[in-house]
Amino acid sequence: MIALALTAALFAQAAAAADPQSPPARAATTLSSQGQAAVLATARGPGPPQDLAGRRAFLDQAQRDGGARQQKTYPVRIEASTMAGVPVRLITPAGPPRQTRLVLLNLHGGGFNADSGSLTENIPIAALTGVPVVAVLYRLAPEHQADAALADAVAVYRELLKTHRPSEIGLYGTSAGAILGPELIERLKTLGLPEPAVLGMFAGDADLTRTGGSEIAQKSDVAAQIQLYLGRIPAGSPAASPLLGDLKGFPPTLCMTSTDDLFLSATANFCRGLDEAGVESKLVVFDGLPHAFWAYIDAPESDQAFRAMARFLKGHLGKPAR
């Protein structure tokens, strides 16, 4: 599962570690032994194939393999379906159906051009919250651009509104999905649709016009990949960069990242922006772990991350409208 959540544009750290001119890879000793081993393996690993078709096939297989391993700890049922004509994965807790109207909507990671999380981001969350998860298999770049992914997310959200109150719906995503999540909230505001009860923004970015210090420190440049996703949508518009718009009215938000995540700065900046706007927000930062580690690293820290996500998401679902 080493490279499961990362695409080629996010592999600068691994490439530097593999360079003979670079110092030997090290792992923070604050991590568990499993976490240290995973960090070293990630830094030394070759990553997925460079071509898009190969990378997609690699990540699809990693999702199947990683999901199968996760299900041994987090038993769930997985079903392929469609909602409003959009393909989705339905992930529900194992056992008898629970009497709950709550639901979680996930927008997976994968650099906008692959699926690196529709299983591994969601299997633990469904099991830990006891709440069904709908993972949107939105249309991907470069074949499709930003409006397509957001249109798919809006369509599925509208469908959920037919059977759920907004207070019963939660939204979350990792990496590319953590860029799409705030953009979806902004789109819902523009459309005059009610917002979900809670947002999980996990290792993402809500300002696509600027480069954060952590991205510079990781020697990463995702601008070209983001531009392929955006197409003709201006990066400086609130539709693409919600942090540049009015964040008032955003739902309570959990922001999660790690100190070796290229989106550490962007995630923290968004959380600070929410706080400035008077929005309930919480920032959780793990030490010494790479980008979106919870989706592909088998270590106690990943389980801790999923428990923190589950507590926040479940804790804000089903409450009276604000």
pLDDT score recorded for residue 42: 81
Q: Distance (Å, rounded) from C-alpha 161 to C-alpha 169?
A: 8
Q: What is the pTM of this model?
A: 0.91
Q: Establish whether the linkage from the previous residue to 242 is cis, with ω within 30° of 0.
A: no
Question: Is residue 206 in a domain?
Answer: yes
For 242-268, write each residue's pLDDT tens digit. Answer: 999 999 999 999 999 999 999 999 999
Question: Is residue 320 in a domain?
Answer: no
Which residues lie below 8 Å from residue 289, measured CB to CB, with a gap of 6+? Answer: 31, 35, 39, 258, 259, 260, 261, 297, 301
- The answer on pLDDT for 10 being more than 70 is no
Residue 196 near residue 166 (C-beta atoms within 8 A)? yes
Give the total number of structural domains in the chain.
Answer: 1
Q: Tell me the CB-side half-sphere exposure of residue 94, using CA atoms within 13 A.
A: 8
* CATH number for the domain harbouring residue 188: 3.40.50.1820
For 31-70, write each residue's pLDDT tens digit. Answer: 999 999 999 988 887 777 889 999 999 999 999 999 999 9
Q: Which of 116, 97, 92, 117 is nearest to 106 (CA)?
A: 117
For 201-256, write each residue's pLDDT tens digit. Answer: 999 999 999 888 898 888 777 887 888 889 888 999 999 999 999 999 999 999 99
Question: Is residue 248 in a domain?
Answer: yes
Question: Is residue 54 in a domain?
Answer: yes
Q: Predicted confidence band at 322 (pLDDT cuts at 50, 70, 90)?
A: low
Question: Is residue 60 in a domain?
Answer: yes
- CA distances (Å), origin 177, targets 26, 101, 180, 203: 29, 24, 5, 9
Domain carrying residue 165: 8-315
Q: What is the DSSP letter of 193?
A: P
Question: Is residue 274 in a domain?
Answer: yes
Question: Is residue 1 in a domain?
Answer: no
Question: Is residue 321 in a domain?
Answer: no
